Each structure stands twice: as C-alpha cells, then as structure tokens.
Amino acid sequence: MELVIIPDDISMRTLGMKIGAALRGGETFELIGDVGAGKTTFVKGLAVGLEIDDDVQSPSFTINRRYKGRNGLMLNHYDFYRLNDAGIMGMEVAESLSDPSSVTVIEWGQSVNDVLPSDRIAITIHYLPDEGRRVEIQMPKSLGYLWSSRGVAQW
C-alpha cells in the first residue's frame, strides 16, 4: 500500500493523469471515499492520461458513462451510490471487466463487489483539514507498470 498526500484538486487530477498515461487496458479501479472526497476528480485526471477529449462528468445519476481514449481504449466509469442492488448493471460491469481494451472505474462498488477482480487497484481517499486528501493506493503486483516509470515520490 502506498500513501500520498494530495493537497488540492489539481494534484488529484495530476495523480490520475500519471496513472492514466500508463494504462494498457483491462485494468480495474475501485474508488473509496465519502461524497466530495475527490473520486470523480481522480477520474478526470485518468481521462486526461487516456487522451479523452470529453469532459468527464460524475455518473451519479446515469450510473455509467463511457469515453473513448487513445489506442482504442475505452474508459467505463460507474457510480453505484445508494444502489443496494446493481441488478442488470452487474452484467454490464462484468462485460467491461472482461474487455481487454476497457478500463473499468467504479465508485461505490459494494453492490458489485462479487464481480470485481482481486487484482484491482483500490484507491481510498480521506479528507484532511483544509483542502488536502490522504490517498491510499493498493496496487496489485501484476500492475507494477502503472508506476514503474513515475516514482510515487513525484506524486
């Protein structure tokens, strides 16, 4: 587990961007943290790293948003806030997870926990006093390439 302190919005986007730039497809992110923690802000950065031109919006009301990125990669962004039962969306998520050209990102993923792969990147965001956030990143060994080129110290 790696711990980083993210002082402001732009640093959260930069963190996402650096990881996003190294994505190869097939990766899964589980984002954990209260409303307003910065989960979607992180995804906005991931999207920049994936060279997505669209403005990433919170999928809170639509549950799911899809974006086209570089090299045929897709970003599938889900938000299951207040959804106790993912229902048919569970199948949607499973489909995204099995697609090697998709990057799957899930906020409030409890309802789909049983379909999430164990080698997912789990990012937990905690508030700090003022604007800061404490970010815990659990990166499976198999995904070491996501930070081999950029030391965590630089984040």
Toward ligand ADP, which CB reaches closer, 11 or 96?
Answer: 11
What number of other Cβ atoms are within 10 A of residue 2's Cβ? Answer: 12
Handedness of CA 141, 145, 149, 154 (dihedral sign): negative
Show contacts with Mg ion in window 82-141 (CB under 5 A). 107
Toward Mg ion, which CB reaches closer, 58 or 64?
Answer: 58
Residue span binding Mg ion (CB under 5 A) among the ranges 8-16, 54-62, 130-138, 141-149: 54-62
Q: Does 41 bind Mg ion (CB under 5 A)?
A: no
Q: Where are the beta strands (DSSP E) in 56-143?
A: 64-68, 74-79, 102-107, 121-127, 133-138
Among Mg ion, ligand ADP, none, the one that 92 touches (CB under a kind-dependent 5 to 8 A) is: none
Q: Please name the amino acid found at residue 1.
A: M
Q: Does 28 bind Mg ion (CB under 5 A)?
A: no
Nearest distance from residue 153's CB to Mg ion, in Å? 27
Binding site for ligand ADP (CB under 6 A): 6-9, 12, 33, 35-41, 58, 107, 131-133
Burial of 10 (0-12, 13-18, 19+ CB in 10 A): exposed
First-to-last C-alpha distance (Å) of the chain: 15
Among Mg ion, ligand ADP, none, the one that 143 touches (CB under a kind-dependent 5 to 8 A) is: none
With CB under 5 A as the contact rule, the residue among 11, 28, 40, 104 that binds Mg ion is 40
Number of residues that bind Mg ion (CB under 5 A): 4
Which parts of this chain interact with Mg ion (CB under 5 A)?
Answer: 39-40, 58, 107
